[in-house]
Structure 1
Amino acid sequence: MAKPPFLGRQSEMSSLNSRWKGKSPEFIVIYGRRRVGKSELIDRFLNKKKGLRLLAREEAKELQLRRFSEEVADYFNDDFLRKTGFSDWDSFFEYLYQKSDERIIIAIDEFPYLVKEDNALPSILQSFWDLKLKYTKIFLILCGSSIRMMESMVMEYSSPLYGRRTGQILLRPLHFIHIYDYIKDIKKSINYFSVYGGIPAYITGLNISQSIEKSITDNIFRKDSYLLRDIEFVLRNELSEPRYYFSILLSISNGNHSQGLITNDTGLSKGIVNKYLSTLIDLDLVTRKVPATVSKRSHRGLYYIKDNLFLFWFRFAYPNVMLIERDLGDAAVKKQVMPYLSDYTGLRFEEIAEDIFLSVNGRDVLPFFFTGWGSWWHKGEEIDGIYYSETENKILFCEYKWQDNVKADVLIRKLKEKSQKVSWNRDNRTEYFCIVARSFNNGTWETSEQTEISGREKEAENIILLDINDIEILCRKALE
């Protein structure tokens, strides 16, 4: 069976390889949500290097030690270890110590499962690291899918392992440019990313030759599809009170973005909502946004579901679960999803455009290098995207439209009016204006020559228009 493609992760792989070439002992923590690609990253890193990945399971300590004994014995071809095995974690780490006089990678995957069975394990590892392992050439990796447990077990001040790690990688979902690099079609990439997000296991498991309607029908709106139940599975495995988190995520998906609206909608107390929102942010499932140019501590913060599949599932799949269970998923997609999918994708297109701009920032293809960004709103007025440079006093105002035949002159006029309500350096700034759309009305502008980013820019007014082809060029530039 062919291995799945390895998407993105050049930065993480470069970091690991750089550390591998050094002579110092390494204690690396790799963590992130399920199916984000942690094990695949480790396996690719291990390729043609000395070492092995040991996968923990939710089983008794004795079974864990027995299985680790077998795998380690097989790797080192150690008949004696096969017969005797590790009696406890002390003997396991002592064995690793004896094998670490030369560079070797030992990756323990799903480390939290081991700690759940033996909460003394972090203290045992601490002792071996301090007294023995840190004087060897070992390259130790602890990996886990429970973000909260990995942080509390390894990185928090109260943990016995605090201060021992030499590096950490919080593996996040892929950026849009990596999904485009895999799919190769810009419109299809936007549609697929809007529904499935940047989790590699989701994207690489799809038949990307399908239309987005067929893909949704086959992969989400079928009662035997694992994606239909995966959201609930993630919440149950990561959170102690999944029903409360479920209620909060459902409320946000229904358009309740302020803390007050979420509290009123769910019936939960303000304190509970505050606490659970904080946890969802830590898990990278929810993001808190404040208007661009405003302090992050602003009380004007709004909450949004960050993961696209979570948002799509709560918006479309959850309300139609009964139909899906009755094998009516095909009809539900046609009647309950497709009429609204363009509007839904339009909301995700705002995030995609921002992600692309961030990916090419500093590559001399945008008017300036920006240091701050975000959407903006105030007293009923909204601007999709603002990018600004504190050092150059330059600011770019953007509107994103997942539409064809957009009349840019109308949007630019409105954008200029709204921009004057943004107080940031209003009396001393250079302004730029940008419209991003699938396509523009042919009569919108008398365009000048192509700019470096292949957009059409009206130089005197610092106006940039980017259609779908220009966006694709930006993606290619980001991947260079």
Structure 2
Amino acid sequence: MASWEFYGRMGTLETLDRIVHSPNWFFCRIQGRRRIGKTTLLRELSKGEPSLLARMVYMQIPDSDERDVAAGFRRALEDCESEIANALAPQVTDFASMAGVIGHLCRRGLIVVLDEFQYFTQARLYAFNSFLQEQVDRLRDTQGGGLFVLGSLQSEMSALLDDKGAPLFGRLTATIDLQHWDFEDLIEVYRAHDIREPHHWLTLWGFFEGVPKFYRDAYDQGLFQVGARFQEALLERMFLREGSPLAEEADTSFLREVKGRLLSVLNFLSEHPGSSHGQLVGTLLRDEDEASLKVTVKRLVENYHMVDKRHPVFSESKSRNSRYYITDNFLQAWLSVVKPARDASRMRPLSKAIDLTLPRLHGHEGYAFEKLIRQLHVECSRKGVGDFSLTSIELGYWNRPRDEQNAIEIDIVALDEDTRRIRFGSCKRSASKHIQSSLSEFERHIERFMSTKEGRRVKGWTLTKALFSPIFSDEEARALTAAGYQCLDLPAYVRMLTSPRSA
């Protein structure tokens, strides 16, 4: 079995290398969702340079109080390889002395890493920000050393570092926003661990998207060596059997602070992805008024970043034709698939609970596949590969007709305004679902779209129709191509993303 390595992030590593080797002092924020690899990135950076590791003082901020945070930093200093840090440890007794020692370390050329920095938004810890501000202001325009602050909650990190009233506002010298692995990075993982089945790629992506730690956990559980019954093995090994690494992940990472109406909206969206505002109101409005529900949804979209508000192509951001989806694949899978399976397993044999859950998993993968195809369009366009460059990030179309017979629902509507091309796409989790009745329905929806105001905007453009599935057999691809459709599956995107590129 191949060993687990560091995958992707080469550009980010180069950026970090420039930051830490700059002659000037730095104050850098690294943020991204939990398990995205913030700490791993710094560990990888220092792996090949022992002198850099020796200059680092790392501390994970506890969700505690001033005394405990100071004690934790004191222990970090004692455990550090640097004798300078060791000697300063006894001085740390409170926030003022902790900030003072951070300033001293930076002036001596050391690098301080404060992980889970978002906890300093809490009232009992907030005073530290003012003490740190004093040191940061003294360190600006000095030489050597630096400070990394790592955080997983974007809204709270922004409150500490971007709000004009915050003590540390305007002090950052660099920001790195870690996103999910691209699909190209995942291809590297698939190839390294001999994961060849495109349906397995979809299952993994549907749960873990591009979160490195989840793939590492899957590797540790031997999931990559599983052939048959891959989905069942994933549910059992990763979530349901005793000691599973992700058994409590959503409750501890996502839902710890989400209760009441917020959780109710998330549960509804997990069961009904793509719900409109009207559907939310019609189902969830009870004792609250509509304005209160709007505030709840807005918090999930703008503060917690747990819900995406999507718009059809050509619509404005304030359009009432928007739809709502849970942003994170893992949270969507947890609420719609894993939690029901876990609940069922309390009273049934595990194998029976998993079998009962598989239809839910298949439904989840259908929505996940559509999302993956949208993201692949964006990734290929951004990297200049493939056959379609995007000029709009919105990649679908739907309407709200009074008469259901005039409904339009098209999975992919991709626009290239520069070359006046439009691509309509239909996504199916299984290629066998692209049958004549489905294709006829697809054609009717395209025809209806072209008769709308939006459709008239692209009159005269080159129109192509694409069908998407995890994999097409040669026979399926020949038949559908002969019928006038372009067939694109995940292996096709692998070829696009791994083919040699012109400079």
TM-score by length of 1: 0.85
Counterpart in the other structure of 1:431? 463
Please list the CA deviations of residues 66-122 of structure 1 after superposition, one character each: whole Å capped at 9, or x if unmatched: 332343254321497367322333433333434435654221111233554432111
**Contact 1:25–1:134 (CA<8 Å) still a contact in 2?**
yes
The percentage of counterpart residues that share the same residue type is 17
2:98 corresponding residue in structure 1: 92
Q: Bigger shift: 430-439 or 256-265?
A: 256-265
Give, as a single letter, the amino acid of the residue that structure 2 aligns with 1:120.
A
Secondary structure of the 1:397 match is strand
Within 1, Cα distance between the matches of 2:396 and 2:115? 38
CA contact (8 A) 2:77 2:89 kept: no
> Residues 11, 246 of structure 1: CA spacing in aligned structure 2 closer, same or farther, 3 A cutoff?
farther
- In the other structure, the counterpart of 2:404 is none
**CA distance, structure 1, for counterparts of residue 463 and residue 423 of structure 2:** 6
Structure 2 counterpart of 1:451 = none
Q: Report the Cα offset of residue 60 of structure 1.
A: 3.5
Structure 1 residues 119 and 306, CA, compared in 2 at 3 Å: closer, same or farther?
closer
Are 1:272 and 2:296 matched, yes or no?
no
Is 1:221–1:330's contact at 8 Å kept on the other side of the alignment? Answer: no
Q: Tell me if structure 2 keeps the 8 A contact 1:356–1:475.
A: no
Deviations 1:318-353 (A, max 9, x none): 33443222363321111x222453343222111112
Question: CA 1:417 to 1:122, structure 2 compared with 1: closer, same or farther past 3 Å?
Answer: same
| Mapped pair 1:289 → 2:310 | yes
Instruction: Name the structure 2 match of 1:11.
Output: 11
* CA displacement 1:194-241 (0-9 Å, x = unmatched): 13333222221012223221121232233654533322223443x3x5
Match of 1:213 among 209, 215, 232: 232
Partners of 2:184 and 2:494 within 8 A in 1: no
Cα offsets for 1:366-400 (capped at 9, x unmatched): 33421213111124211111211233322221112
- Equivalent-residue separation in structure 1 for 2:74 and 2:360 (angstroms): 54
Contact 1:111 1:144 in 2 (8 A): yes
User: Using a 3 Å threshold, how does the CA distance of structure 1 residues 401 and 93 change in structure 2: closer, same or farther?
Assistant: same
User: Contact 1:291/1:301 (CA < 8 Å) preserved in 2?
Assistant: yes
Superposed, 1:89-128 pairs within 5 Å as 89-101=95-107, 103-114=109-120, 116=122, 117-128=124-135
The one-letter code matched in structure 1 to 2:412 is G
Paired with 1:51 and 1:398, the residues of 2 have a C-alpha distance of 50
Structure 1 residues 464, 273: closer, same or farther in 2, change over 3 A?
same
Counterpart among 430, 439, 442 of residue 475 in structure 2: 442
Q: Which residue of 2 aligns with 1:453?
A: none
Q: Which runs of 5+ in 1 are unaligned?
A: 448-455
1:146-190 Cα deviation digits (max 9, x unpaired): 333212122212211111112223333333443343133233111
Q: Report if aligned partners of 2:308, 2:324 keep a CA contact under 8 Å in 1.
A: yes
Instruction: Kindly tell me the number of residue pairs found equivalent between the two proteins.
Output: 465
> Which amino acid letter does the alignment assign opposite residue 473 of structure 1?
R
Q: Which residue of 2 aligns with 1:466?
A: 488
Cα–Cα, structure 1 residues 363 and 131, in superposed 2: closer, same or farther, change >3 Å? closer
State the SS of the aligned residue for 1:392: coil
Q: Where does 1:66-215 land on structure 2 (aligned, <5 Å)? A: 66-73=71-78, 74-78=80-84, 81=87, 84-101=90-107, 103-114=109-120, 116=122, 117-184=124-191, 185=196, 186-206=198-218, 207-210=223-226, 211-215=230-234
| Alpha-carbon distance between aligned partners in 1 of 2:85 and 2:382, rounded to the nearest angstrom | 56
CA contact (8 A) 1:97 1:133 kept: no
Corresponding position of 1:263: 281
For 2:45 and 2:425, the matched residues in 1 are separated by: 40
Superposition CA RMSD, Å = 3.2
Taking structure 1 as reference, are residues 234 and 264 closer, same or farther at Cα in structure 2, changes over 3 Å only? Answer: farther
For 2:89 and 2:35, how far apart are their aligned partners in 1? Answer: 35
SS of residue matched to 1:174: coil
Report the residue type matching 1:109 in the other structure. D
Change (3 A) 1:387 1:79: closer
Worse-matched range after superposition: 60-69 or 80-89:
80-89
Q: Structure 2: which 5+ residue stretches go unaligned?
A: 402-406
Note closer, same or farther for the CA distance 1:400–1:153 as it changes in structure 2 (3 Å cut): same
Relative to 1, partners in 2 of residues 1:375 and 1:124: Cα closer, same or farther, differing over 3 Å? same
Query: Using a 3 Å threshold, how does the CA distance of structure 1 residues 313 and 59 change in structure 2: closer, same or farther?
Result: closer
Distance 1:363 1:118 in 2: 43
Report the alpha carbon displacement of residue 303 of structure 1 after superposing the two structures with TM. 0.3
Q: What is the TM-score normalised by the length of structure 2?
A: 0.82
Report how far residue 407 of structure 1 moved. Answer: 5.2
Corresponding residue number in structure 1 for 2:28: 28
Q: Map Cα deviations across residues 125-156 of structure 1 (whole Å, 9 max, x no partner).
A: 22221233443323211112333321212221
Q: CA deviation at 1:358?
A: 1.8
Q: 2 CA distance for matches of 1:264 and 1:234?
A: 30
- 1:247 Cα deviation after fit: 0.9
Where does residue 230 of structure 1 map in the other structure? 249
Q: Is the 1:406–1:441 contact (alpha carbons within 8 Å) kept by the matching residues of 2?
A: no
